[in-house]
Structure 1
Amino acid sequence: MSATHNTPNPPKPFRIFIGYDTREHIAYEVCRYSILKRSTIPVEIIPIKQSELRNNNHFWRERNKLESTEFSFTRFLTPFLANYQGWALFVDCDFLYLGDVKELHDVIDDKYALMCVKHEYVPTETTKMDGAVQTVYPRKNWSSMVLYNCGHVKNRVLTPEVVNSESGAYLHRFMWLEDEEIGAVPFVWNFLVGHNKVVEGDETTCPKAIHFTSGGPWFEAWRDCEFGEVWVREMEEYEKVKEKEKKVGDCCK
Protein backbone atom coordinates (compact mmCIF):
# COMPACT_ATOMS: atom_id res chain seq x y z
CA MET A 1 0.00 0.00 0.00
CA SER A 2 1.58 3.26 -1.10
CA ALA A 3 1.79 6.19 1.23
CA THR A 4 -0.34 9.22 0.46
CA HIS A 5 1.13 12.69 0.54
CA ASN A 6 -0.84 15.83 1.20
CA THR A 7 0.24 18.32 -1.43
CA PRO A 8 -0.40 21.87 -0.28
CA ASN A 9 -2.72 23.84 -2.51
CA PRO A 10 -0.90 26.52 -4.53
CA PRO A 11 -1.69 30.08 -3.44
CA LYS A 12 -4.58 31.67 -5.28
CA PRO A 13 -3.54 34.52 -7.56
CA PHE A 14 -4.00 38.05 -6.26
CA ARG A 15 -6.87 39.45 -8.34
CA ILE A 16 -6.27 42.85 -9.90
CA PHE A 17 -9.11 44.59 -11.71
CA ILE A 18 -8.01 47.39 -14.05
CA GLY A 19 -10.46 50.00 -15.26
CA TYR A 20 -10.58 49.89 -19.05
CA ASP A 21 -11.37 52.77 -21.40
CA THR A 22 -11.43 52.31 -25.17
CA ARG A 23 -9.58 55.64 -25.59
CA GLU A 24 -6.77 54.43 -23.34
CA HIS A 25 -6.11 50.90 -24.56
CA ILE A 26 -2.33 51.38 -24.59
CA ALA A 27 -2.44 52.80 -21.06
CA TYR A 28 -4.22 49.61 -19.91
CA GLU A 29 -1.67 47.40 -21.67
CA VAL A 30 1.30 49.23 -20.16
CA CYS A 31 -0.26 49.23 -16.69
CA ARG A 32 -0.86 45.48 -16.97
CA TYR A 33 2.65 44.87 -18.29
CA SER A 34 4.26 46.91 -15.48
CA ILE A 35 2.41 44.88 -12.83
CA LEU A 36 3.24 41.48 -14.32
CA LYS A 37 6.86 42.44 -14.95
CA ARG A 38 7.57 43.25 -11.30
CA SER A 39 5.23 40.98 -9.34
CA THR A 40 6.82 38.20 -7.29
CA ILE A 41 3.43 36.70 -6.39
CA PRO A 42 0.90 35.08 -8.73
CA VAL A 43 -1.57 37.68 -10.03
CA GLU A 44 -4.69 37.50 -12.16
CA ILE A 45 -5.44 40.68 -14.08
CA ILE A 46 -9.00 41.36 -15.21
CA PRO A 47 -10.00 44.41 -17.26
CA ILE A 48 -13.29 46.01 -16.26
CA LYS A 49 -14.85 46.69 -19.65
CA GLN A 50 -18.13 48.59 -19.66
CA SER A 51 -19.26 47.02 -22.95
CA GLU A 52 -18.97 43.51 -21.51
CA LEU A 53 -20.78 44.51 -18.33
CA ARG A 54 -23.62 45.97 -20.39
CA ASN A 55 -23.82 42.81 -22.49
CA ASN A 56 -24.08 40.76 -19.29
CA ASN A 57 -26.75 43.09 -17.83
CA HIS A 58 -24.48 44.05 -14.92
CA PHE A 59 -24.31 47.73 -15.93
CA TRP A 60 -27.05 49.80 -17.51
CA ARG A 61 -26.90 53.35 -16.16
CA GLU A 62 -26.71 56.17 -18.69
CA ARG A 63 -23.43 57.98 -18.96
CA ASN A 64 -23.40 61.64 -17.90
CA LYS A 65 -21.05 64.43 -19.00
CA LEU A 66 -19.10 64.41 -15.71
CA GLU A 67 -17.82 60.85 -16.22
CA SER A 68 -14.27 61.24 -17.47
CA THR A 69 -13.76 57.50 -18.11
CA GLU A 70 -15.81 54.43 -19.00
CA PHE A 71 -15.04 52.99 -15.56
CA SER A 72 -16.13 55.98 -13.46
CA PHE A 73 -18.89 53.81 -11.96
CA THR A 74 -18.07 50.26 -13.07
CA ARG A 75 -15.06 50.25 -10.71
CA PHE A 76 -17.45 49.78 -7.80
CA LEU A 77 -18.51 46.40 -9.17
CA THR A 78 -15.13 44.97 -8.09
CA PRO A 79 -16.46 43.06 -5.03
CA PHE A 80 -19.36 41.73 -7.13
CA LEU A 81 -17.02 40.62 -9.93
CA ALA A 82 -14.84 38.93 -7.30
CA ASN A 83 -17.90 36.99 -6.07
CA TYR A 84 -17.67 38.80 -2.73
CA GLN A 85 -14.71 36.61 -1.76
CA GLY A 86 -11.19 37.42 -0.57
CA TRP A 87 -9.25 40.56 -1.33
CA ALA A 88 -8.91 42.21 -4.73
CA LEU A 89 -7.27 45.34 -6.06
CA PHE A 90 -8.97 47.87 -8.31
CA VAL A 91 -6.78 50.36 -10.14
CA ASP A 92 -7.33 52.93 -12.89
CA CYS A 93 -5.62 52.15 -16.20
CA ASP A 94 -3.53 55.35 -16.05
CA PHE A 95 -1.12 53.84 -13.52
CA LEU A 96 2.46 52.71 -14.06
CA TYR A 97 3.78 50.27 -11.46
CA LEU A 98 7.39 50.61 -10.41
CA GLY A 99 7.07 48.43 -7.30
CA ASP A 100 6.18 44.81 -6.61
CA VAL A 101 2.46 44.42 -5.85
CA LYS A 102 3.47 41.85 -3.22
CA GLU A 103 4.44 44.83 -1.05
CA LEU A 104 0.96 46.25 -1.54
CA HIS A 105 -0.60 42.88 -0.82
CA ASP A 106 1.44 42.68 2.39
CA VAL A 107 -0.24 45.80 3.88
CA ILE A 108 -3.69 44.16 3.73
CA ASP A 109 -5.47 44.17 7.10
CA ASP A 110 -8.66 42.11 7.42
CA LYS A 111 -10.18 44.52 9.93
CA TYR A 112 -10.91 46.98 7.11
CA ALA A 113 -13.62 46.84 4.45
CA LEU A 114 -11.26 48.53 2.03
CA MET A 115 -7.89 50.27 1.99
CA CYS A 116 -6.64 53.13 -0.16
CA VAL A 117 -4.39 56.17 -0.28
CA LYS A 118 -6.23 58.92 1.59
CA HIS A 119 -5.28 61.86 -0.61
CA GLU A 120 -5.99 65.46 0.20
CA TYR A 121 -6.14 66.49 -3.42
CA VAL A 122 -7.69 69.59 -4.98
CA PRO A 123 -6.78 69.87 -8.69
CA THR A 124 -6.14 73.36 -10.09
CA GLU A 125 -6.80 72.57 -13.75
CA THR A 126 -10.34 72.60 -15.14
CA THR A 127 -9.85 69.83 -17.71
CA LYS A 128 -8.05 66.49 -17.72
CA MET A 129 -6.93 63.84 -20.22
CA ASP A 130 -8.37 64.63 -23.64
CA GLY A 131 -10.59 67.53 -22.58
CA ALA A 132 -12.75 65.81 -19.95
CA VAL A 133 -14.10 68.05 -17.20
CA GLN A 134 -11.98 68.02 -14.04
CA THR A 135 -14.34 67.68 -11.08
CA VAL A 136 -13.57 68.50 -7.45
CA TYR A 137 -15.12 66.57 -4.58
CA PRO A 138 -14.21 65.24 -1.10
CA ARG A 139 -11.99 62.12 -1.09
CA LYS A 140 -11.02 62.73 -4.71
CA ASN A 141 -8.78 59.98 -6.09
CA TRP A 142 -9.41 57.68 -3.12
CA SER A 143 -11.35 55.37 -5.43
CA SER A 144 -8.66 55.29 -8.14
CA MET A 145 -6.68 52.55 -6.37
CA VAL A 146 -8.55 50.45 -3.82
CA LEU A 147 -7.82 47.22 -1.98
CA TYR A 148 -11.27 45.70 -1.50
CA ASN A 149 -12.02 43.20 1.24
CA CYS A 150 -14.61 41.63 -1.05
CA GLY A 151 -15.92 39.26 1.60
CA HIS A 152 -16.61 42.05 4.11
CA VAL A 153 -20.30 42.19 4.96
CA LYS A 154 -20.48 45.94 4.26
CA ASN A 155 -19.23 45.50 0.69
CA ARG A 156 -22.16 43.22 -0.14
CA VAL A 157 -24.04 46.51 -0.53
CA LEU A 158 -22.20 46.97 -3.84
CA THR A 159 -24.63 45.05 -6.02
CA PRO A 160 -25.18 45.93 -9.69
CA GLU A 161 -28.50 47.52 -8.68
CA VAL A 162 -26.78 49.87 -6.22
CA VAL A 163 -23.85 50.70 -8.53
CA ASN A 164 -26.33 51.54 -11.30
CA SER A 165 -28.55 53.74 -9.17
CA GLU A 166 -26.55 55.45 -6.42
CA SER A 167 -24.94 58.87 -6.89
CA GLY A 168 -21.32 59.48 -7.71
CA ALA A 169 -20.92 61.13 -4.31
CA TYR A 170 -22.20 58.04 -2.49
CA LEU A 171 -19.85 55.72 -4.37
CA HIS A 172 -16.67 57.76 -4.74
CA ARG A 173 -16.78 58.89 -1.10
CA PHE A 174 -17.36 55.31 0.14
CA MET A 175 -20.51 56.43 1.93
CA TRP A 176 -21.65 52.84 2.55
CA LEU A 177 -18.82 52.61 5.10
CA GLU A 178 -17.90 54.19 8.42
CA ASP A 179 -14.61 56.12 8.47
CA GLU A 180 -12.95 53.54 10.70
CA GLU A 181 -13.68 50.82 8.14
CA ILE A 182 -11.38 52.48 5.60
CA GLY A 183 -7.68 51.64 6.03
CA ALA A 184 -4.76 53.73 4.80
CA VAL A 185 -2.14 52.80 2.21
CA PRO A 186 1.17 54.73 1.79
CA PHE A 187 0.78 57.47 -0.83
CA VAL A 188 3.61 56.08 -2.95
CA TRP A 189 1.16 53.41 -4.20
CA ASN A 190 -1.02 56.14 -5.76
CA PHE A 191 1.56 58.81 -6.51
CA LEU A 192 -0.33 61.64 -8.18
CA VAL A 193 1.66 63.31 -10.94
CA GLY A 194 1.71 67.06 -10.36
CA HIS A 195 0.59 66.75 -6.75
CA ASN A 196 2.86 64.36 -4.83
CA LYS A 197 6.57 65.11 -4.72
CA VAL A 198 9.74 63.08 -4.32
CA VAL A 199 11.82 64.45 -1.44
CA GLU A 200 15.52 64.22 -2.18
CA GLY A 201 17.22 61.79 0.18
CA ASP A 202 13.92 60.31 1.39
CA GLU A 203 13.33 56.92 -0.26
CA THR A 204 9.90 56.63 1.37
CA THR A 205 8.65 59.31 -1.06
CA CYS A 206 9.75 57.48 -4.23
CA PRO A 207 6.71 56.30 -6.20
CA LYS A 208 5.87 52.61 -6.38
CA ALA A 209 2.88 53.32 -8.63
CA ILE A 210 2.71 56.51 -10.70
CA HIS A 211 -0.81 57.80 -11.36
CA PHE A 212 -1.18 60.08 -14.38
CA THR A 213 -4.48 61.33 -13.01
CA SER A 214 -4.80 64.47 -15.17
CA GLY A 215 -3.55 62.83 -18.37
CA GLY A 216 -0.66 60.68 -19.51
CA PRO A 217 1.76 60.76 -22.45
CA TRP A 218 -0.56 58.56 -24.54
CA PHE A 219 -2.54 61.80 -25.03
CA GLU A 220 -0.94 64.40 -27.30
CA ALA A 221 -1.58 67.26 -24.85
CA TRP A 222 0.27 65.40 -22.08
CA ARG A 223 3.34 64.19 -24.00
CA ASP A 224 5.74 66.14 -21.80
CA CYS A 225 4.14 65.56 -18.40
CA GLU A 226 6.24 64.71 -15.34
CA PHE A 227 7.36 61.05 -15.39
CA GLY A 228 6.18 60.88 -18.99
CA GLU A 229 9.54 59.57 -20.19
CA VAL A 230 9.33 56.74 -17.63
CA TRP A 231 5.99 55.64 -19.06
CA VAL A 232 7.26 55.91 -22.65
CA ARG A 233 10.24 53.66 -21.87
CA GLU A 234 7.89 51.09 -20.35
CA MET A 235 5.61 51.30 -23.39
CA GLU A 236 8.53 50.76 -25.77
CA GLU A 237 9.66 47.75 -23.76
CA TYR A 238 6.12 46.34 -23.76
CA GLU A 239 5.90 46.75 -27.55
CA LYS A 240 9.23 44.98 -28.08
CA VAL A 241 8.13 42.07 -25.90
CA LYS A 242 4.79 41.91 -27.71
CA GLU A 243 6.51 41.90 -31.12
CA LYS A 244 8.90 39.17 -30.01
CA GLU A 245 6.00 37.04 -28.76
CA LYS A 246 4.21 37.57 -32.08
CA LYS A 247 7.24 36.36 -34.04
CA VAL A 248 7.54 33.29 -31.84
CA GLY A 249 3.84 32.60 -32.31
CA ASP A 250 4.11 32.98 -36.07
CA CYS A 251 7.05 30.54 -36.17
CA CYS A 252 5.08 27.90 -34.29
CA LYS A 253 2.06 27.97 -36.61
Structure 2
Amino acid sequence: MANFKVFVGYDPREDIAYEVCRHSILKKASIPVEITPIKQSELRKNGLYWREKDQYESTEFSFSRFLTPKLANYEGWAMFVDCDFLYLADIKELRDLIDEKYAVMCVQHEYVPKEATKMDGAVQTVYPRKNWSSMVLYNCGHPKNSVLTPEAVNTETGAFLHRFQWLQDDEIGSIPFVWNFLEGHNKVVEDDPSTFPKAIHYTRGGPWFEAWKNCAFADLWLKARDEYQNEAKKAITN
Protein backbone atom coordinates (compact mmCIF):
# COMPACT_ATOMS: atom_id res chain seq x y z
CA MET A 1 0.00 0.00 0.00
CA ALA A 2 1.34 3.43 -0.95
CA ASN A 3 2.13 5.85 1.84
CA PHE A 4 -0.64 8.30 2.70
CA LYS A 5 0.87 11.71 1.99
CA VAL A 6 0.38 14.37 4.64
CA PHE A 7 1.65 17.93 4.17
CA VAL A 8 1.84 19.99 7.35
CA GLY A 9 2.03 23.78 7.34
CA TYR A 10 5.30 24.90 8.90
CA ASP A 11 6.17 28.21 10.53
CA PRO A 12 9.53 28.71 12.30
CA ARG A 13 7.70 30.41 15.20
CA GLU A 14 5.75 27.20 15.77
CA ASP A 15 8.39 24.50 15.23
CA ILE A 16 7.32 22.65 18.38
CA ALA A 17 3.70 22.67 17.21
CA TYR A 18 4.76 21.04 13.94
CA GLU A 19 6.82 18.39 15.75
CA VAL A 20 3.98 17.52 18.13
CA CYS A 21 1.43 17.40 15.30
CA ARG A 22 3.71 15.06 13.33
CA HIS A 23 4.36 12.91 16.39
CA SER A 24 0.64 12.60 17.17
CA ILE A 25 -0.18 11.47 13.63
CA LEU A 26 2.58 8.86 13.49
CA LYS A 27 1.92 7.55 17.00
CA LYS A 28 -1.69 6.64 16.20
CA ALA A 29 -1.34 5.66 12.53
CA SER A 30 -1.97 2.03 11.54
CA ILE A 31 -1.11 2.79 7.90
CA PRO A 32 2.15 3.99 6.35
CA VAL A 33 2.21 7.79 6.41
CA GLU A 34 4.65 10.16 4.72
CA ILE A 35 4.72 13.55 6.45
CA THR A 36 6.27 16.58 4.74
CA PRO A 37 6.48 20.09 6.23
CA ILE A 38 5.50 22.89 3.84
CA LYS A 39 8.39 25.29 4.46
CA GLN A 40 8.14 28.63 2.70
CA SER A 41 11.91 29.09 2.60
CA GLU A 42 12.35 25.82 0.67
CA LEU A 43 9.49 26.60 -1.70
CA ARG A 44 11.04 29.99 -2.50
CA LYS A 45 14.43 28.40 -3.09
CA ASN A 46 12.83 25.88 -5.46
CA GLY A 47 10.95 28.55 -7.40
CA LEU A 48 7.50 27.36 -6.33
CA TYR A 49 6.61 30.32 -4.14
CA TRP A 50 7.32 33.98 -4.73
CA ARG A 51 4.26 35.70 -3.36
CA GLU A 52 4.86 38.87 -1.32
CA LYS A 53 3.71 38.72 2.28
CA ASP A 54 0.11 39.81 2.75
CA GLN A 55 -0.82 42.01 5.73
CA TYR A 56 -3.44 39.47 6.83
CA GLU A 57 -1.16 36.41 6.75
CA SER A 58 -0.95 34.96 10.25
CA THR A 59 1.42 32.11 9.29
CA GLU A 60 4.04 31.38 6.64
CA PHE A 61 1.75 28.75 5.10
CA SER A 62 -1.37 30.93 4.71
CA PHE A 63 -1.13 30.58 0.91
CA SER A 64 1.55 27.95 0.32
CA ARG A 65 -0.86 25.28 1.65
CA PHE A 66 -2.62 25.35 -1.73
CA LEU A 67 0.48 23.89 -3.38
CA THR A 68 -0.45 20.51 -1.87
CA PRO A 69 -1.69 18.96 -5.17
CA LYS A 70 1.45 20.20 -6.94
CA LEU A 71 3.71 18.82 -4.19
CA ALA A 72 1.91 15.47 -4.57
CA ASN A 73 2.54 15.57 -8.33
CA TYR A 74 -1.21 15.88 -8.97
CA GLU A 75 -1.56 12.17 -8.16
CA GLY A 76 -3.72 10.28 -5.66
CA TRP A 77 -5.05 11.72 -2.42
CA ALA A 78 -3.03 13.83 -0.01
CA MET A 79 -3.87 15.78 3.10
CA PHE A 80 -2.91 19.27 4.13
CA VAL A 81 -3.16 20.22 7.78
CA ASP A 82 -2.13 23.26 9.83
CA CYS A 83 0.64 22.61 12.36
CA ASP A 84 -1.59 23.58 15.30
CA PHE A 85 -3.42 20.23 15.31
CA LEU A 86 -3.16 17.36 17.77
CA TYR A 87 -4.33 13.97 16.51
CA LEU A 88 -6.08 11.71 19.01
CA ALA A 89 -7.24 9.03 16.55
CA ASP A 90 -5.81 6.83 13.81
CA ILE A 91 -5.48 8.77 10.55
CA LYS A 92 -6.62 5.62 8.75
CA GLU A 93 -10.15 6.45 9.95
CA LEU A 94 -9.87 9.78 8.18
CA ARG A 95 -8.41 8.30 5.02
CA ASP A 96 -11.26 5.77 4.95
CA LEU A 97 -13.75 8.66 4.61
CA ILE A 98 -12.34 9.50 1.16
CA ASP A 99 -14.93 9.57 -1.63
CA GLU A 100 -13.50 9.69 -5.16
CA LYS A 101 -16.35 11.82 -6.48
CA TYR A 102 -15.05 14.90 -4.66
CA ALA A 103 -12.18 17.22 -5.59
CA VAL A 104 -11.56 18.10 -1.94
CA MET A 105 -13.03 17.05 1.39
CA CYS A 106 -12.96 19.04 4.62
CA VAL A 107 -14.85 19.95 7.79
CA GLN A 108 -17.35 22.57 6.67
CA HIS A 109 -17.32 24.83 9.71
CA GLU A 110 -19.68 27.70 10.32
CA TYR A 111 -17.21 29.63 12.43
CA VAL A 112 -17.07 33.28 13.46
CA PRO A 113 -14.17 33.94 15.87
CA LYS A 114 -14.88 36.06 18.95
CA GLU A 115 -11.29 37.26 19.40
CA ALA A 116 -9.71 40.18 17.55
CA THR A 117 -6.29 38.51 17.67
CA LYS A 118 -4.97 34.97 17.75
CA MET A 119 -1.74 33.08 18.46
CA ASP A 120 1.05 35.59 19.11
CA GLY A 121 -0.99 38.70 18.40
CA ALA A 122 -1.80 38.03 14.73
CA VAL A 123 -4.92 39.79 13.47
CA GLN A 124 -7.98 37.54 13.42
CA THR A 125 -9.82 37.82 10.10
CA VAL A 126 -13.41 36.80 9.39
CA TYR A 127 -14.51 35.42 6.02
CA PRO A 128 -16.89 32.79 4.57
CA ARG A 129 -15.72 29.17 4.90
CA LYS A 130 -13.18 30.16 7.56
CA ASN A 131 -11.09 27.19 8.72
CA TRP A 132 -12.23 24.98 5.83
CA SER A 133 -8.73 25.18 4.37
CA SER A 134 -6.99 24.32 7.65
CA MET A 135 -7.40 20.56 7.09
CA VAL A 136 -8.16 19.36 3.57
CA LEU A 137 -8.13 16.02 1.83
CA TYR A 138 -7.12 16.77 -1.76
CA ASN A 139 -8.01 14.50 -4.67
CA CYS A 140 -4.79 15.63 -6.32
CA GLY A 141 -5.52 14.01 -9.68
CA HIS A 142 -8.99 15.56 -9.99
CA PRO A 143 -9.09 17.73 -13.14
CA LYS A 144 -10.37 20.76 -11.21
CA ASN A 145 -7.32 20.75 -8.91
CA SER A 146 -5.00 21.18 -11.91
CA VAL A 147 -5.97 24.87 -11.52
CA LEU A 148 -3.77 25.00 -8.42
CA THR A 149 -0.52 25.68 -10.24
CA PRO A 150 2.30 27.62 -8.57
CA GLU A 151 1.27 30.60 -10.73
CA ALA A 152 -2.29 30.48 -9.39
CA VAL A 153 -1.20 30.02 -5.78
CA ASN A 154 1.12 33.00 -6.07
CA THR A 155 -1.31 35.35 -7.78
CA GLU A 156 -4.92 34.46 -6.89
CA THR A 157 -6.73 36.28 -4.10
CA GLY A 158 -7.08 34.92 -0.61
CA ALA A 159 -10.83 34.68 -1.20
CA PHE A 160 -10.37 32.54 -4.33
CA LEU A 161 -8.08 30.12 -2.51
CA HIS A 162 -9.48 29.90 1.03
CA ARG A 163 -13.09 29.73 -0.14
CA PHE A 164 -12.32 27.04 -2.76
CA GLN A 165 -13.67 29.22 -5.55
CA TRP A 166 -12.07 27.02 -8.23
CA LEU A 167 -14.69 24.39 -7.31
CA GLN A 168 -18.45 23.97 -7.48
CA ASP A 169 -20.14 23.39 -4.11
CA ASP A 170 -20.98 19.78 -5.00
CA GLU A 171 -17.28 19.06 -5.59
CA ILE A 172 -16.49 19.72 -1.91
CA GLY A 173 -17.11 16.74 0.35
CA SER A 174 -17.91 17.03 4.05
CA ILE A 175 -16.01 15.44 6.94
CA PRO A 176 -17.33 15.16 10.54
CA PHE A 177 -16.29 18.15 12.68
CA VAL A 178 -14.42 15.94 15.15
CA TRP A 179 -11.55 15.77 12.61
CA ASN A 180 -11.07 19.55 12.84
CA PHE A 181 -12.38 20.21 16.34
CA LEU A 182 -11.95 23.92 16.97
CA GLU A 183 -10.74 24.59 20.51
CA GLY A 184 -12.94 27.28 22.03
CA HIS A 185 -15.72 26.78 19.48
CA ASN A 186 -16.76 23.14 19.11
CA LYS A 187 -18.19 21.41 22.18
CA VAL A 188 -18.06 17.90 23.58
CA VAL A 189 -21.57 16.72 24.44
CA GLU A 190 -21.65 14.59 27.57
CA ASP A 191 -22.67 10.97 26.89
CA ASP A 192 -22.21 11.48 23.13
CA PRO A 193 -18.89 9.93 22.07
CA SER A 194 -19.46 11.09 18.47
CA THR A 195 -18.66 14.65 19.63
CA PHE A 196 -15.28 13.86 21.19
CA PRO A 197 -12.42 15.23 19.07
CA LYS A 198 -10.33 12.98 16.87
CA ALA A 199 -8.10 15.94 15.99
CA ILE A 200 -7.98 19.13 18.07
CA HIS A 201 -7.29 22.36 16.22
CA TYR A 202 -5.85 25.06 18.49
CA THR A 203 -6.86 27.73 16.00
CA ARG A 204 -6.88 30.64 18.48
CA GLY A 205 -3.44 29.70 19.77
CA GLY A 206 -2.03 26.66 21.54
CA PRO A 207 -0.12 26.00 24.78
CA TRP A 208 3.19 26.69 23.02
CA PHE A 209 2.20 30.37 23.24
CA GLU A 210 2.30 31.90 26.72
CA ALA A 211 -1.08 33.62 26.23
CA TRP A 212 -2.79 30.30 25.45
CA LYS A 213 -1.08 27.97 27.94
CA ASN A 214 -4.38 27.40 29.78
CA CYS A 215 -6.64 26.86 26.75
CA ALA A 216 -9.01 23.89 26.58
CA PHE A 217 -7.24 20.56 25.93
CA ALA A 218 -3.88 22.15 26.84
CA ASP A 219 -3.13 19.13 29.03
CA LEU A 220 -3.43 16.74 26.07
CA TRP A 221 -1.06 18.82 23.94
CA LEU A 222 1.47 19.19 26.77
CA LYS A 223 1.41 15.43 27.38
CA ALA A 224 2.04 14.81 23.67
CA ARG A 225 4.85 17.37 23.67
CA ASP A 226 6.53 15.63 26.61
CA GLU A 227 6.22 12.26 24.83
CA TYR A 228 7.77 13.70 21.69
CA GLN A 229 10.64 15.34 23.57
CA ASN A 230 11.38 12.18 25.60
CA GLU A 231 11.46 10.05 22.45
CA ALA A 232 13.67 12.61 20.69
CA LYS A 233 16.12 12.50 23.61
CA LYS A 234 16.19 8.69 23.56
CA ALA A 235 16.88 8.72 19.84
CA ILE A 236 19.88 11.02 20.39
CA THR A 237 21.38 8.92 23.20
CA ASN A 238 20.88 5.53 21.50
Question: What TM bracket, shorter-length normalisation?
Answer: over 0.9
Cα displacement (A) at 1:64: 1.5
User: What are the within-5 Å matches in structure 2 for residues 69-148 of structure 1?
Assistant: 69-148=59-138
SS in 2 for 1:115: strand
Instruction: Name the counterpart of 1:26.
Output: 16
In structure 2, what is the Cα distance between the partners aligned to 1:99 and 1:52? 30
Instruction: Name the counterpart of 2:49.
Output: 59
In structure 1, what is the Cα distance between the partners aligned to 2:237 and 2:47? 38
In structure 2, what is the Cα distance between the partners aligned to 1:208 and 1:64? 32
In structure 1, what is the Cα distance between the partners aligned to 2:71 and 2:13? 23
Instruction: Name the counterpart of 2:222.
Output: 232
Cα displacement (A) at 1:195: 0.3
One-letter identity of the residue aligned with 2:217 = F
In structure 1, what is the Cα distance between the partners aligned to 2:54 and 2:103? 29
In structure 2, what is the Cα distance between the partners aligned to 1:167 and 1:80? 18
Give deviations 1:187-241, integer Å, cap 9, x for gaps. 0000000000000000000000000001000001101000011100100011001
- Rg larger in 1 or in 2? 1
Instruction: Name the counterpart of 1:178.
Output: 168
In structure 2, what is the Cα distance between the partners aligned to 1:167 and 1:49? 21
Cα displacement (A) at 1:172: 0.1
Alignment TM-score, normalising by the size of structure 2: 1.00
In structure 1, what is the Cα distance between the partners aligned to 2:43 and 2:15? 17
One-letter identity of the residue aligned with 1:114 = V
One-letter identity of the residue aligned with 1:141 = N
Give deviations 1:89-127, integer Å, cap 9, x for gaps. 000000000000000000000000000000000001000
Alignment TM-score, normalising by the size of structure 1: 0.94
Q: Which ranges of structure 2 fall in alignment gaps of 5 or more residues?
A: none
SS in 2 for 1:170: helix
Cα displacement (A) at 1:173: 0.1
Instruction: Name the counterpart of 1:251.
Output: none
In structure 2, what is the Cα distance between the partners aligned to 1:65 and 1:166? 15
In structure 2, what is the Cα distance between the partners aligned to 1:174 and 1:189? 19
* Residue 192 of structure 2 is aligned to residue 202 of structure 1: yes
One-letter identity of the residue aligned with 1:123 = P
Instruction: Name the counterpart of 1:6.
Output: none
Instruction: Name the counterpart of 2:234.
Output: 244
* Residue 29 of structure 2 is aligned to residue 39 of structure 1: yes
One-letter identity of the residue aligned with 2:172 = I
Matched residues, percent identical?
70
SS in 1 for 2:208: coil
Structural RMSD (CA): 0.3
In structure 1, what is the Cα distance between the partners aligned to 2:105 and 2:223? 30
